[in-house]
Structure 1
Amino acid sequence: MALLVSSWSNGVKSVPKDYVMPPERRAGDFVTVCKEIPVIDLQNDRSEIVQKILKACQEFGLFQVINHGVSDKMMENMMALYDEFFNLSVEDKLGVYSEKPCKGCTLYTSGLEYAKEDVHYWKDTLKHPCHPIDKHSPSWPEKPARYKEEVGRYVVEVRKMGFKILDLIAEGLGLNEGYFNGVSQEHTMAINRYPPCPDPSLAMGIAGHNDPNLITFLQQDRYGLQVHKDGKWMGVEPIPNAFVVNLGYQIHAITNGKLKVVEHRGLLNSTTSRTSIVTFFGPNPELPTVVEPAKELVTPSNPQMFKAYQYNEFIANYLALAYNCRPGSLNGSALDPYRL
């Protein structure tokens, strides 16, 4: 437990040497918030929403949504819950702590496996599966006492929102309603806590990476998320009670390259903790799920880019790249083995 950044970093005056990134792996110059990233109101006209989402997915691989159906109060309660969780005593968090991420509910620090890293990320993460709730909630933290009840309600609402957005994407592509349901069996949450850092220019929250799953929904409370586009990093504005929606490798493959997978990273600040509540939708790696381009999107002018592959094989390849690459290029080109 002493490894958790949140357990030892309060009041430190300098960045420990094993958290100091080499110059080439630091965030670099200050990046301004990009005002071009689309913010889409899900209560607007449906045809307008569909076109805006499709354009955002093609240009950015990312957008933000408001009026999405998850109440402001619920989102505020979740941020308060996780602020309380990360401030619990060491003893109260021992039940879910591990030296590295596991399949179940796990509280861990830095990246994939602390002991194997040459330099560490300035973050702690609580990660656990969410669906079905009855199956997974017994493994969730016992404290705060309201954890299972509040997170259970949140999971239901985010799941509704997620499938709604996937259907809007499918509609924009000319695919049937529910097209992505078969590759959205797994629903996992990762709550990242980035404590204040005495010198954010030396350390990193998380380096640039692409998500391995289908689609990701992120709730953030403060600035720190950046995306890479056209050779440069751009900041994503933390809009109150909005969700950031970013696309992962699987939707890029299924849409035959029509939709963009977005590289993103997390930065630090010197004054306050930053929390991101991240929900991942994607195939279940424990099931024999085949991923391949939608036949409707393969045409003579847009020939098939990827062969069919097993998702569990992809994940094994992704993790191998992540373990073998230094932070800063976490997962290389994970789809390369499946290109035609």
Structure 2
Amino acid sequence: MENHVSRWFNVQTVPESHTFSIEDRPGKKQIPLCRTIPIIDLANSERTEIVQEIIKASQEYGFFQVTNHGVPEDVINGAVKVLEELFTMPVDEISKEANSNGWVYMGSTSFATKGAHLWRDNLKHPCHPLEQSMQNWPQKPTRYRDIVGAYIVEIRRLSLIILELISQGLGLEKGYLGGISQVQFLTASNYPPCPDPSLTLGLLKHFDHSLITILFQGNVEGLQVLKDGKWIGVEVVPNAFVVNIGTQVEIISNGKLRSAQHRVVTNKEKSRATIATFINPCPDCIIEPAKVIVNEANPPLYPSLSFKEFVNVSKPFGPFTDVIQNGCIDE
């Protein structure tokens, strides 16, 4: 496969370089699309009901979707469109742009994990502090910074709403999670059509080592969550955001809420574009069970770690088995 965007077109077979081991590949077994992962209407006037739904979903699935979130549809569509335009640029031009500005671009042959390359193109850049970070974002397409900047502003607003609802559900003081949070990273991915989705992956199974992750998954399914030892597909809900609980909130809740393993599979007929934003705490924060939650009857299940320590450990405690990269593993 040539190192150019055109490599994705008219590919008839999955090359060996992108074929994962039998243990990691999805296989040909049909994975059911789950329609029971909660879809939470943030415009519901009964705040207590919203809080209860979020806590229940976070305990049972580690995932939920939100609608009526207040992020304008044109802001979402604009961000998706400008990212799609970026991914259609020649790879040499994208790489040159990334190297000169300090953001990260990974084409389908630039990074291998578990002996194979992921079936995707991906970019990642920081988002906090926003005005400062924007100076190192892509300059092409020329409107990228304005459009994605507007998107990040909306995601920040939404993240504060969701974190406050979680704080309330856990019995934490007002602003507990929102006060320590930042929209630290954006990662966008292009998953082209794949001739044999059973052999490869868009993203290997992993946990997100964030407070929460907010994902716009477009209009094509591909996200799968591991529940009770079985994979289930996350349905696409128009104009909704997927929210998943990161390992940091699992720690803060002392295990009351759970972070779920998830992966991304490919599609034979359609391409898929996604935008994930990782909400992390400030660098000087301590990641530990909230003191209001723990007591003699409910002792802390996790040690206290500075955010730097949390980021630097390679195999965290408890159920967290993935290597942490930059405080998150991207979608």
In the alignment, the residues of structure 1 paired with residue 73 and residue 50 of structure 2 have an alpha-carbon distance, to the nearest angstrom, of 21
In the alignment, the residues of structure 1 paired with residue 152 and residue 183 of structure 2 have an alpha-carbon distance, to the nearest angstrom, of 12
Closer/same/farther in 2, CA of residues 46 and 231 from structure 1, 3 Å limit: same
- Which of the two has greater helix per residue? 1
Name the structure 1 match of 2:234. 236
TM-score by length of 1: 0.87
Q: How does 1:123-202 map to 2 (within 5 A)?
A: 123-202=120-199
In the alignment, the residues of structure 1 paired with residue 86 and residue 323 of structure 2 have an alpha-carbon distance, to the nearest angstrom, of 33
TM-score by length of 2: 0.90
Partner AA of 2:207 in structure 1? N
Name the structure 1 match of 2:307. 311
Contact between 1:254 and 1:293, CA under 8 Å: does it hold in 2? yes
Partner AA of 1:158 in structure 2? I
TM-superposed CA distance for 1:93, in Å, is 1.4
TM-superposed CA distance for 1:114, in Å, is 1.9
- Any gaps of 5 or more consecutive residues in structure 2? 326-331
In the alignment, the residues of structure 1 paired with residue 89 and residue 179 of structure 2 have an alpha-carbon distance, to the nearest angstrom, of 38
In the alignment, the residues of structure 2 paired with residue 282 and residue 230 of structure 1 have an alpha-carbon distance, to the nearest angstrom, of 27
Name the structure 2 match of 1:37. 37
In the alignment, the residues of structure 2 paired with residue 117 and residue 333 of structure 1 have an alpha-carbon distance, to the nearest angstrom, of 15
Contact between 2:3 and 2:91, CA under 8 Å: does it hold in 1? no
In the alignment, the residues of structure 2 paired with residue 199 and residue 186 of structure 1 have an alpha-carbon distance, to the nearest angstrom, of 35
Name the structure 2 match of 1:324. none
Matched, 1:220 2:239: no
Partner AA of 2:35 in structure 1? K
Name the structure 2 match of 1:26. 25
Closer/same/farther in 2, CA of residues 332 and 125 from structure 1, 3 Å limit: closer
Contact between 1:256 and 1:298, CA under 8 Å: does it hold in 2? yes
TM-superposed CA distance for 1:312, in Å, is 1.6
In the alignment, the residues of structure 1 paired with residue 284 and residue 324 of structure 2 have an alpha-carbon distance, to the nearest angstrom, of 23
Partner AA of 2:47 in structure 1? R
Partner AA of 1:317 in structure 2? V
State the aligned residue count: 319
In the alignment, the residues of structure 2 paired with residue 143 and residue 20 of structure 1 have an alpha-carbon distance, to the nearest angstrom, of 32
The percent of aligned pairs where both chains have the same amino acid is 42
Partner AA of 1:53 in structure 2? I
Matched, 1:57 2:58: yes
Partner AA of 1:42 in structure 2? L
Contact between 1:219 and 1:277, CA under 8 Å: does it hold in 2? yes
Partner AA of 2:82 in structure 1? L
- Any gaps of 5 or more consecutive residues in structure 1? 322-328, 335-340
Name the structure 1 match of 2:89. 88
Cα-Cα RMSD:
2.4
Matched position secondary structure for 2:155: helix
Partner AA of 2:18 in structure 1? Y
TM-superposed CA distance for 1:228, in Å, is 0.5
Matched position secondary structure for 2:20: coil
Name the structure 1 match of 2:290. 294
TM-superposed CA distance for 1:40, in Å, is 0.3
Specify which of 272, 276, 285 is matched with residue 278 of structure 1.
Answer: 276
In the alignment, the residues of structure 2 paired with residue 61 and residue 195 of structure 1 have an alpha-carbon distance, to the nearest angstrom, of 27
Matched position secondary structure for 1:43: coil
TM-superposed CA distance for 1:283, in Å, is 2.5
CA distances 1:139-163 after superposition (whole Å, capped 9, x unpaired) = 1111111111111111101100001
Q: How does 1:3-14 map to 2 (within 5 A)?
A: 3=3, 6-14=5-13
TM-superposed CA distance for 1:91, in Å, is 4.6
In the alignment, the residues of structure 2 paired with residue 117 and residue 95 of structure 1 have an alpha-carbon distance, to the nearest angstrom, of 27
Closer/same/farther in 2, CA of residues 330 and 272 from structure 1, 3 Å limit: farther
Contact between 1:96 and 1:107, CA under 8 Å: does it hold in 2? no
